[in-house]
Each structure stands twice: as structure tokens, then as C-alpha cells.
Structure 1
Amino acid sequence: MSDVLAAHRAFYDAVETGDVDLMAALWVDDAGTTCVHPGAPPLKGTAPILRSWTVLMAGVGYIQFFLTDVEVSLLPANDPTTAIVVCTENILSDGGSVESFNGGRAVATSILVRDGARWRFWARHASPLIDPEDV
């Protein structure tokens, strides 16, 4: 399970550091991959997914993820080839100036598949968490 969590954490490291090469190395190269960014329609295929992450990372000056409630399910249990990781993303990002920071939360579900000795992303879906007091 530690190798699944390492691949999962590497995803967030790629976003935080703007490392496009690392992000590309973490995804299966296949037309069937899927990514759903909060509030956006699903993206299908690795090329559009990587393009979206490249644009997102280029537009963010600072972002940091603090992950909580991380749950991992391995399928099948005896010799897993698929991992499902669900977590809460507690996000801190710049608010456009040095003095201003924004915070937010989302719940994310990632499906990783074993690709040889490595785990790679097959699908990811993130949805914002709304504080009931803000509604």
C-alpha cells in the first residue's frame, strides 16, 4: 500500500511544484483515462488531461495540499491491480498577492492501476466541499 500512497502523493507534489514531466509520468497513456476537475466537464484521454494540468499549474503561483481522511482500497485484495484512493484535499493557495491566501476543500477520488512495477492514474474526480455556514 505504501507504493500506492507514494504515487498518490507524487501527484500532489507535481501540482505543488508545477512539474509537468512528473505529472505526465504518473498517468497511464490511454484514450480511456478520465479526469474531472471541480465544476468542469470530464476530460477523456491522457493528452487533454495533461494539457489541463499544465494550464492549471502555469496559472497558480502557490498551492499546497494538506491531505486528510485518506482511504485506500486495493482490488483484488490478494494481488491488487487497482487502487482506489479517496481523500479530503485541504488547499492553500495564493490570493493574487503576497499578503493574501485563499483556502478551500475538496474531496477527491483517484483510481490507480498497476503498470508493471509502478502505480499510475487511470481516473481522478475532485469535487469542492461547501461549508454549510457559507450557503
Structure 2
Amino acid sequence: MKDIEELNQAFYNAIESGDLDKMSEIWIEDGGGRTAMCVHPGWPMLSGRSEVLRSWALIMANTPYIQFVLTDVQTAVLGDVAVLTCAENILTAADTDEPGFAAGRVVASSTYLRTPSGWRLWLYHGSPVLQSDDEEDEEEE
């Protein structure tokens, strides 16, 4: 399980540093009855390694700053498949004319597959956690 959690952290480090080469190393190659798949929060399903990596390249190119603090990390390994779930607590540059930051929370599931080259990310699915007005008021106090 430690291997999976380290690879998962490398995935987030690649996003934070905008390292598409590292991201490419983490994702599985299509073939053998498997296809890389990704669901970014609010996006439709992306299928196929090239489409998935293209999406990460676009995100990285258009994100001047992002930081992830992972909480509630749980990992299960069943033979050659591992599933890691977590909450992504995200701090990013605000999308406004004024400099500043925006925060958000996403729950994510990542499925890893053991390959001859080691563990590789097969499926990532992130869903935004919507905050109620009460939670937003508490954060502002």
C-alpha cells in the first residue's frame, strides 16, 4: 500500500509542478483490454491515454498555481488492482482580476493497476464537494 500512496503523491506533485513528463510516467499505457480513463471535476469521461494526457497538459498550462492537501486517504489492494480514495483540499490562484487565492474540495478515487513496469494509474475520478452557505459563512468568520 505504501507504493500506491507514494505513486499517488507523485501524481499530485506532477500537477503542482506542471510536470507533464512525470504525469506521463504515472498513467497506464492503453492496450491489453485496458484504456486510461479520467473524469476531472465537472468534465465528461475522457478515454484513452492521449486524450487523458492532453487534458492534464491543458490544465497545467492554464493553472498558474495549485496546491493539494490530501486528507481521508484510504487504500485497498486486491491482487493487481489498487483503489485509493481521498479528499483533495485545493488552494489555487483566484480566477479574478484581483490577485488572490481560491479554495475548493474534491473527493477523488484513483484506480491503479500493477503492470510489468510497476503500478500505473488506470482511472482517476474527481467530484467537487459543494459547500453550503452555512459552511461558507463559517469560513469567512
Q: TM-score, normalised by structure 1?
A: 0.91
Taking the aligned partners of 1:11 and 1:98, their CA distance within structure 2 comes to 30
Identical columns (%): 43
Name the structure 2 match of 1:26: 26
Is 1:40 the counterpart of 2:39? The answer is no
Counterparts in 2 of 1:17-96, with a 5 A limit?
A: 17-30=17-30, 32-75=35-78, 80-96=79-95
- Paired residues, number: 131
State which structure, 1 or 2, has the greater radius of gyration over its C-alpha atoms.
2
- Structure 1: state its 5+ residue gaps: none
Report the more deviating stretch, 97-106 or 117-126.
97-106
SS of residue in 1 equivalent to 2:41: coil
Taking the aligned partners of 2:62 and 2:77, their CA distance within structure 1 comes to 34
Letter paired with 1:88: A
Name the structure 1 match of 2:139: none
Letter paired with 1:129: V
Check 1:2–1:104 CA distance in 2 against 1; reply closer, same or farther (3 A cut). same
SS of residue in 2 equivalent to 1:108: strand
Letter paired with 1:67: L
SS of residue in 2 equivalent to 1:50: helix
- Structure 2: state its 5+ residue gaps: 137-141
SS of residue in 1 equivalent to 2:124: strand
Counting strand residues as a fraction of each chain, which structure ranks higher? Answer: 1
Query: Cα distance, 1:119 vs. partner?
Result: 1.1
Q: Could you list the per-position Cα deviations for residues 70-114 of structure 1 after superposition, in whole angstroms to 9, with x for gaps in the alignment?
A: 000111xxxx21100000000000115784000000000000011
Q: TM-score, normalised by structure 2?
A: 0.87
Q: Which aligned segments of 4 or more residues in structure 1 are displaced greater than 4 angstroms?
A: none
